[in-house]
Structure 1
Amino acid sequence: MPYILKEENIEEFLRKSEMDEFEEEDFGEFYPDNYKMVDKSGMFEDFRFKLVVLESLLGKNASFVDEFKEFTKKLEEKYDDYVFEIGNFINPVIVEPILKFLENVELTEEDLEKVDEICIGGGLEIYGILCPNWDGEDELFEIKSVKGFEKLKNLKKVIFISCCDEELLDEFRESGIEVE
């Protein structure tokens, strides 16, 4: 099960990592029982689906992209890249400042119009940014609802690999969207 890595614990976390003195409480809250990922913009019912939409916009000059890149760059500089390359722990670690940023992203109409294709699968870049050592072995990014996809007026194609039940894809098909 993944943990939430809280920003206020990072310095102590790094000190303990050098001495291999970790205890469970060093990782903050345990996900999913004690922490819910929420789309605070209210655009999508499931934050995990919002992540798929955000992923599709990373290379399309969307309104949030420059701020997101600058934000993650500052975090990497502040925490010396170590936090973003956590790979030696049994449980994945969600970087809370990035989670909070993504939860609060509000997409513009122009952003929504740029989405013509999405990919639902475990290998998305945005998952690696949010949870650097996630291995896809659990349901951390499993989509439970695609409600809100109707806002994506130019969505023509959904590439399905994993991370949701196939029945959810019927909502796209019923709207005339190609599912591959």
Structure 2
Amino acid sequence: MHDFSDSSDFRDLNFKLLVVEKLMYGDRTLAPAFRLREHMRARGVEDLDAHVEAHDLEYTVLDEARAYFEALEIPAALLATVEELAFDGGHQVYMECAPVWDGEDDLFDVRSLADLDLVPNLRLFTGGQALEFMLPGALETLSARGIATRH
């Protein structure tokens, strides 16, 4: 039996990654911080960039990172602390997922705002113009929920 009062399941991994960026790499309240290079070194991969290139993984989220972030449970009390989110191609969480990603594709585009209910105190979304491009109607959805946007 899953207790949804203690943690929440996200439907859009890319939206979850925005929340992880805020809590794990920004606020540092979601710990320990995931470090892909350390994770892969523990699995015998010393040169992560060479591994990525040798296996043609430049434009994908590595399976190890995807599995970690999909399984990561974020307590509802911690989700309630999220008042701001930002979409920015330079997020640390993206480098932990795809270490040689160049930001030139839609790998981390948010596909759904169905997870907004998981961050009940969200008041500001930075990168609204990019979000609207990824998800037409997103700005209207945010506005209807009282969430301001900054481009």
Question: What's the TM-score once normalised by structure 1's chain length?
Answer: 0.64
Q: 1:143 offset after TM fit, Å?
A: 1.1
Which residue type is aligned with residue 162 of structure 1? Answer: A
CA RMSD of aligned residues (A): 2.7
Q: Which runs of 5+ in 2 are unaligned?
A: 1-6
Query: 1:150: which partner in 2?
Result: 117
Alpha-carbon distance in 1 for matches of 2:68, 2:139: 28
Q: 1:90 offset after TM fit, Å?
A: 8.8
Alpha-carbon distance in 2 for matches of 1:113, 1:165: 24
Runs of 4+ in 1 over 3 A off after TM superposition: 84-91
| TM-aligned CA distance change 1:84 to 1:109, over 3 Å | farther
CA displacement 1:28-83 (0-9 Å, x = unmatched): xxxxxxxxxxxxx86332111111111111132434x21634x7524235322x21
Which residue type is aligned with residue 17 of structure 2? Answer: L
Q: Which runs of 5+ in 1 are unaligned?
A: 1-40
Q: How many residues align?
A: 137
Question: What's the TM-score once normalised by structure 2's chain length?
Answer: 0.75
Alignment of 1:1-180 (within 5 A): 43-58=9-24, 59-63=26-30, 65-66=31-32, 68-69=34-35, 73-76=38-41, 78-80=44-46, 82-84=47-49, 86=52, 91-160=58-127, 162=130, 164-180=134-150
